[in-house]
Amino acid sequence: MINITRKSIHYLTNKPKTLFLIDGLGAMLTTLLLFVVLRNFNEYFGVPKTILTFLSAISTCFCLYSTTCFFFLKANWTPFIRVISYANLLYCVLTVGLVITYNSVISTLGIVYFLVEIIIICLLVYIELKVATAVKQNRTND
């Protein structure tokens, strides 16, 4: 796993634009899962629909941000990568808070879903921050 992460960081350092595509697609998947799947199968997940709508609105904003960066950003990647990284971290903190707050109504399947989502997002954040640092170092070394 560590070797795959290192290779991913190296690859994405040379193609930071791809990181926005990955982030945007991940946010789109999150939106679809929250708004379509979890809402329609709420009896299995137990998350209040208002919370699912709220989280899907946030992930939609992240999708729009990353997609916009992917299509329109031509240089100076680092600050934009850092913005989405920190936003993703805040989303994870918010999600943990909501899971704790609504723990009594969220099913085990719902908790597992959010834990897996948080782990994936945290791995992505780690890669994003490493890539942002490497891109910045490469730019100052040129």
pLDDT tens track for 100-134: 999 999 999 999 999 999 999 999 999 999 999 99
Residue 142 domain flag: no
Which tens digit of pLDDT belongs to each residue from 36-70? Answer: 999 999 999 999 999 999 999 999 999 999 999 99
Boundaries of domain holding 106:
2-137
Task: Give the Å distances, CA to CA, from 104 to 38, 52, 75, 91, 99.
Answer: 17, 16, 47, 21, 9
- Mean pLDDT of the residues in the chain: 93
Please give the torsion angle defined by the CA atoms of residues 106, 99, 33 and 62, in that order, rounded to the nearest 10 degrees.
160
85 in a domain, yes or no?
yes
Q: Could you give the number of structural domains in the chain?
A: 1
In this prediction the pTM is: 0.92
pLDDT-derived band of residue 85, with 50, 70 and 90 as boundaries? very high
Q: Is 73 part of a structural domain of the chain?
A: yes
Does 65 fall in a domain?
Answer: yes
- Reported as a single tens digit per residue, the pLDDT across 109-118 is 999 999 999 9
Q: Flag whether 103 is in a domain.
A: yes
- For residue 130, being part of any structural domain is answered with yes
Asked whether residue 51 is assigned to any structural domain, the reply reads yes
